[in-house]
Chain A
Amino acid sequence: MTCDELLLRLTDFGDGVLSEDLCEELRRHLAECHSCTDLQADLAALARLCRECPPPRLPADLRLRLAERIGKGRPGGR
């Protein structure tokens, strides 16, 4: 497997949709290629960065208005 071939399949690999043969080829390539190992490490770091960012919160006033509307069962504008 070449670097380009790995690159095209990396997300499919992470998503578990590749055949076992392709997975094995991909693992072999990663074990031998520093550039592709770095890419995989960067993408893992990116995922960690995103998961650790504090998520935006639904504004309290909007949450209250929505709860009131759901309680009344009447949709409507602001």
Chain B
Amino acid sequence: MAEVRGEAVPDVPNGDPRAALSRALVEEGDRLYGLAFRVTRDPDLAADAVQDAFASALDHIDGFRGEARLSTWLHRIVFTKSIDLLRRRRREEPLPEQDVENLTAEDLRLGHGPSWARPPDEVLRGKETRAALEQALGRLTPVQRAVFELKETEGRPTAEVAEILGTAEPTVRVHLHRARLKLRDLLADHFRGGRT
């Protein structure tokens, strides 16, 4: 089994790596770009991350077999490239996660914040709400945004998200929990007609 930066290269169905990558580009291209965009919050960096990821995949996929699904493996490379690009350009250093094993007093404080008071669907689906959500997502760490995108938006299983991020499942749940509570807190004013 070969490795790319310590990651096992996936099995390629039907033994044709280029055909598998072409299919992945069609089927997963938007989701891969979506992950990169969510992590970097920059369309140019996101495009670079996806391009670098496919270049890396092409470099390493020929003749190799591994255990990960191709989609998971590509998401893992895109995530890693996105974090690398953020660090390299120093636009946004990933914020340190003080404690990803346990929830803290801050997590509890956020959980007791004001309720959204059941916003009606037309408000929930409105452009202003989407803009407020984008702004709030910018207050999360890149890893929290990645977890939120993969779990909440795409609905991927926790085990797969852990594999993509190269971390443990309980850590994914802590990131997700914090992301949810922070977003709820940050959007509370929006749903009460105030600032976000």
Contacts and interface: CB of A to CB of B under 8 A. Distances in A.
Interface of A: 3-4, 7-8, 10-12, 15, 17, 35, 38-39, 41-43, 45-53, 55-59, 62-63, 65-67, 69-71, 73-78
B111 A51 contact: no
Given A55-B34, A65-B51, A71 B124 contact: no
13 contacts: A3-B112, A39-B115, A41-B116, A48-B124, A50-B153, A53-B153, A56-B37, A58-B32, A59-B43, A66-B54, A69-B55, A73-B58, A75-B58
Contacts of A11: 173-174, 176-177, 180
Contacts, number: 124
Interface of B: 18, 21-22, 25, 29-34, 37, 43, 46-47, 50-51, 54-56, 58-59, 62, 103, 107-108, 111-112, 115-119, 124-125, 129-130, 133, 148, 152-153, 155, 158, 173-174, 176-177, 180, 183-184, 187
A69 B58 contact: yes
Contacts of A65: 51
A75 to B, nearest CB: 4
